[in-house]
Structure 1
Amino acid sequence: MADAVEARITDDALDPRAEFDAFLAALGGEGGVATFTGLARPSSIRGAAVERLFLDHHPVLTEQSVRQIAADARQRFGVSAVRVVHRIGEVGSGDAIVFVAAASAHRRAAFEAADYMMDRLKTQAVFWKREDTAIGSNWIEPTEADHADTQRWSD
Structure 2
Amino acid sequence: MRAKSLVTLAAAVTLAAGPSSAAAAPAPEPDVTRATAESVDVFQTGGDAVHYSSTPPPTISAHGWWLDKDSGGAKAKVTVELQILTGSRWHTVATGSKTVKQGGGSSRRANARRTCAGTKATVWRSRVDVDIIGVADSPNKLETPGKTFNCGV
TM-score category (smaller protein): 0.3 to 0.5
Structure with a larger share of its residues in helix: 1
Greater strand fraction, Structure 1 or Structure 2: 2
Report the TM-score, using the length of structure 1 for normalisation.
0.34
The TM-score normalised by the length of structure 2 is: 0.34
